[in-house]
Amino acid sequence: NGLICDGTISIDGNKLSIVYDPPHLLKGMRNNLLNKDMSW
């Protein structure tokens, strides 16, 4: 279909790269689990 997936998105003609920061994501999940009340 001619689409090329290079990990970027285009907004108003500007290409933005999507970058994930795994240590920061893990720290955020840990903090949410420790500080929030969860009900099952």
What is residue 18's predicted lDDT score, i.e. its pLDDT? 84
Q: Give the domain extent around 26.
A: 1-40
Predicted confidence (pLDDT) at residue 5 exceeds the cutoff of 80 = no
What is residue 9's predicted lDDT score, i.e. its pLDDT? 87
Predicted confidence (pLDDT) at residue 36 exceeds the cutoff of 70 = yes
Q: How confident is the model at residue 20 (pLDDT cuts 50, 70, 90)?
A: confident
40/31 Cα distance (integer angstroms): 18
Angle of CA points 18, 11, 13, to nearest 5°: 115
DSSP 1-40: ------SEEEETTEEEE----HHHHHHHHHHHHHHS----
- Counting the structural domains of the chain, the total is 1
Predicted confidence (pLDDT) at residue 27 exceeds the cutoff of 70 = yes
